[in-house]
Amino acid sequence: MPKTVQVLFEKDIPCQLRDGVTLYGNVYRPDEEGNYPVLLTRHPYNKNLADFSHRYVDPFRLAAEGFVVIIQDVRGRFSSEGEFIPFIHEAEDGYDAVEWAANLPYSNGNVGMFGLSYYGFTQLFAAAESPPSLKAIFPAQTGSSLKEDMLFRQGALEYGLFATWMLDSVAPDLIRRHRPEEYSRARKEIESSLHHINDSFHHVPLSEWPPLMNHVPAQILYQQFITQEISDGANGKANVKHRLSSLKLPAYHLAGWYDCFLGSTLENYQEMCKAGEEQRLIIGPWGHGDFSAVQGERFFGGHAAGDWMDQERDITSLHLNWFEKWLKKTDSVLVEDGAPVQLFVMGINEWREEWEWPLARTDFIPYYLHSDGKAGSESGTLSTVKPLIEPSDHFFYDPSHPVPTVGGNGLFYNGENAGPCDQNVVEEREDVLVYTSEAMKEAMEVTGPIEVVLWASTDAISTDFTAKLVDVCPDGKAYNLTEGIIRGEPFYERETEGTCYRLDLWATSNVFLPGHSIRLEISSSSFPRYDVNPNTGKTTIDSKEMFPANQVIYHDRYRPSHILLPVVPT
C-alpha cells in the first residue's frame, strides 16, 4: 500500500467525445506529483450529490491510497452536454471516456471502472467495446440488457421499478434542461406525485401514467420505452448480454439477495467466467443500493452490513484490493487468498466462501405440490413425495384487484416495500394458493438457483402465473425469500391437458432452521412490481380492457407441479 497522502479535488473536468460532445466529471486525486491508475464511474444522477456520486464507495479513501477517481455525468445529464437517451450511448461514450482517462497527465494508463445499477450498465457497455486501457471492473447490482434486465422479466413489465425510476431519477433533470421555465413548478408536482405514487400506479393505460403526462420531455421518453419504441436501442446498443462470455476482463460482481438486479448480476458473473479471466462474486443480504444489516422486517446481524464485513473488508476495501491487483500489479492478500465467491447464508446469518456458483455439491431436489383441492382456502402441502391422483386447485384472478407486492426484490420510491416482509396478509387472499412443508426436524440449507415447474390452465387468452418461496417461522411469520413471474407463449410448451410453465425465481441462500417450514405461494399477480395481465391478449400498457380468469393448478402423476430446491448437503 502507498503511504496516505492529501487528496486534491477538481470539479467539472472536461472530456470530449468522438462526436464533439463534452462530458464533465469530478476528479479526486493524490495531491502529489506522479502517475496513478484511474478509477472511473459514469452515471446520470448528478456527480455533485454525495448520495449519488459515489454511494457506497469512498472516493477520498481511494484517492488517498494512490488512485485517481473520476465521477462523470453521462451524456445529456446535469453538467454534461448532449441528449440523454438512457443506455443508448453508453458503449461508445464509455470507450471514449476510458481512453480519455488513460491519457490524463496524472494517469499511469491503467483504468478501472466501478459503480452500482446504471453505473454498472455503463461498465459492461464500455467493456464490450474493448477499450485497451480498461484493465478491470467492479460491476454491482446491475444488468447487461435494458430490455431483459430492467424493463421486462419473463414477459412481464417491471412496472414499479421503471415508472418510479423515470419519475424520481430521470424526469427532473430532463425538465430542467428542456423546459427550464417549468422546472420550479414541475419539481413541486413531481414531489407531490412521489408522495402519492402508490395511488397512481393503478391508472390504466400505463402509457398515460398521470405523474408524467404534464411533463413533456419525460412523458415522451417514458412512452418510448414503455411501448418498446426504444428497448435495446438501435443495433442493440443497450444490450451486451450476448457478448459477456467473450469479455476477457477481470470483474468483481456484487449482488444482493433482495436486489432487483439479482438475477442479471448472477448471470453476468456466470457468463463472464466463460472467457477465462478472473471473476469474483459477493452476495449479501442486501437490497438495491442498501447495504444495511436491516432489510425489510429482518435483522441479519451487524456483520451483514456492507461497512462491517469483518471490519477490514468493507466494500471500499474490496475495491481497493481488487484494483491494486489489476491496476498497480501489487500483491493483494484479500484478493489473492480465499475462494472467488463470498455469500451470506440467511437463517444462520453467516458469511461463507465458495469456489463456484452455483455450488458444485448441490442436490437439486423437487418439492411437490399437494392438496385436496382447497389450497386457496386451506393450506396445501409441499413434500418430496410425488403426487398420484389428486384434485386440482382453482382460483379466480381478477386483474382489477391484483395481489399487492409485499417486500421482495422490487425497487420503489426511497427503497420502500422491499426486502423480507411477513406474507400472512397476502396469503389470506382467495387468489393466492399456499403450499407448506412439515416443520423441519433438522436444519436444511437451500443455496442456489430456484425454479418452479407449474402445470396450469386458464380460460383466458393470455395470463400470468407467479410463484414465491417463503420461510415460515415457528411463530407463524412468513418471510419471502425469492419470487418469479411468467407471461406469454414464448415461455412455455402447450400440452393437451394443461400447460407446463417454468418460472425462474432467480436464487437465494437460506437455512430453514428446525421448527421452520418451506412454503410456496402460487398466484397470478404481484402489483405494482409487475404490470397486471388483463387476460385479453393485450397489455395494460395501451389498453384499459380487463377480464377475470379462472386459473387451475394441477399436481398429479402426469402433471407434477413442483419447486426445484438447491439443497446443500450438510
Q: Which residues are catalytic?
A: 117, 259, 288
Helices 90-102 and 118-128 sit at what angle, rounded to 10 degrees?
80
Neighbours of 330 (CB within 10 A): 12
Q: What is the Cα–Cα distance from 436 to 434, expressed in whole angstroms?
A: 7
CB 478 within 8 A of CB 424: yes
CA 398 from chain center: how many Å? 28
414 Cβ contact partners less than 8 Å away, ≥ 6 residues apart: none
DSSP state for residue 490 in the 8-state scheme: G
318 Cβ contact partners less than 8 Å away, ≥ 6 residues apart: 138, 252, 254, 282, 309, 334
How would you list the strands of the sheet with 7-16, edge to edge? 7-16, 22-30, 68-73, 36-43, 107-116, 134-140, 251-258, 279-287, 341-345, 350-354
CA 51 from chain center: how many Å? 19
Q: What does residue 167 show for φ and ψ, rounded to 5 degrees?
A: -75, -45
CB 186 within 8 A of CB 193: no
Identify the helix (H) or strand (E) that includes residue 391.
Answer: none
Tell me whether the omega of the peptide bond preceding residue 528 falls within 30 degrees of 0, making it cis: yes
